[in-house]
Structure 1
Amino acid sequence: MIDYIIVSQRWRSSISNCRTYRSAEIGNTEHRLVVANMRLRLQAQRSQPRPTKIDVSRLSDQEIRSKYAIDVSNHFDALLPFESSEDAWISFKKNVLESATANIGRAKRAKKAWVQFDTLDVIEQRRKARLLGDMPTYRRLNGVRNKLIQRDKKLFVERKAIELEGAAMKGDVGSLYKHLRDLSSDKAPSVASVVSADGQPLSDEAAQVSRWKDHFSSLLHADTVAQTDQELACLAASTQEVPSNEPETSFTTAEIHSALKRLTNNKAAGVCRVSAELLKYAGPAMLLWLQMLLSVVWRTEWVPKDWRLGIILPLWKRKGSKSICSNYRGITLLSVPGKLFAMTLLDRCTSILRRKRRVQQAGFMPGRSTVEQIFTMRQLIEKTRENSGGTHTWPS
């Protein structure tokens, strides 16, 4: 016997059984799987349920998309008017997620199933030969198995290469990077245990969360520069009421549809788990539902709580120690319906600002780049130097 389980004297009385499983397949080794049963009394740790993710890739199927749109329409027809924006949002999120879960389904964990069935059959025959003690057959099937695994791996890489080429020719960047991740063995680095600001290790989970909170608070809540009384007076004098002919009571479906088309697909949802695909492919009933929701938020002047929350994900920069917070960059996942509301507000403000802009305004305007102004100024300077004349500029 060459396989053992070493147990401390303290836990020796906790071992209730120990046995060897000869049928377990471990690979090219003479070792056997040894399993021990232990009887322990541990304090239960409460774990929060992991939120489910909707498999939005299935919305490419027209039949699933139609079922989802019909279910959303049925939920919308049964709604009653809301006076509170929070109640309207909770009802919206609940019904949309229920319809998505029932008609689209949850996303399953992806696996690289590149081993073919004939290879699995040889692996099973090899396992049975070892249990029967037929070592010549076992060694022969071991070589056959290795060749079949190499063949399956080669076919998998060739198939992925064809899919990569097709995605590149179509300009499908999302599928392109997905196939690259399937081929790459370099996985996304996980977040390691971090140290405190003075370099002391933090073993407690609550202490590490507090450390991340302090780090991102120092980055995102920078000290603002104090303004003088004269600057505040000039700011107040320049502030004036801008007359507008835009509607001030509710949003129109045209406004919402224009902002909805600009939302990007294949992006992670925020704390509400409502992605852009769930809003885009829900049919005309979703536009009416969003109009009702945004109008309630506009009328009550109160933004739902989920729209004001963001999930900050630290991503390692692939340089420096993983235990130092400054070697991570954070990205914030915001609520997609909250983004839609912000985009509709920005569209209304932009239309007003463009009518009140200065004639010289070039940046942040469609079709008016700063390149032309820089080119004109450069031409003036060059021509003036050629003619040896003075250059004068006047404030506009």
Structure 2
Amino acid sequence: MVTANIKLKLRKVQQQGQQGRQLDIGKLKCQNINKEFVLELRNRFGALADSTDEDPDIHTKWETIKNTYVEAATKILGYRDKKNKEWLTPGTWQKIEQRKQLKAKILNNESLRLQKQVQEAYKTKDKEVKKSARNDKRAFVEMLACKAEGAARRGEMGVVYTINKHLCGKNTSQSAPIKDKDGNNLLTESEQAVRWVQHFREVLNCPEPEHPANPTPADNIGLLNINTSPPT
């Protein structure tokens, strides 16, 4: 006969949805997409201006404006793929799409003569893609270097450190959790705001010390014999 102690443990529920996904705002660098996005926003805000809702509170206004921007960006820009390289410009992505189309033509074409013609075009387009990608990455690194140089000149070493980690591919920085006095994590923004208020009240409104420091100047210290003449 075998006896054992069984310990039950709750299974972690994975949250479903689009958490952590970022909008592909890099597409706004393309003039055509930028104009399309601005036009979509104008149409949506024009429809909101014609609505019959009068004098909503400030929170309702903010939620409406935020949802309008998010919906327009989701429709026009879409979400960014994690595999995308952020330094690639829209022009390079267009060349990549053209290369994909040529690759599909090679695979779907049964004529050997047409395949050779498309293969030559594919090789030329592949060289253009690689050259454009190299130029984009070089420009991206130069931009980050200039930004880091300016931050170092202003004494913002935190920005320099972040850019250095970004160039090295170490982008796993996470903000430290905010805890209450008992050591429990605060998950909501309202709880975190209340904790910050408590923290600064305790730090800035601390009582004066019972025995303040009152150092007395020393009387027996003479002048130091320091040679201040120019070097010879």
TM-score, length-normalised on structure 2? 0.40
Higher strand share: 1
Higher helix share: 2
TM-score, length-normalised on structure 1? 0.26
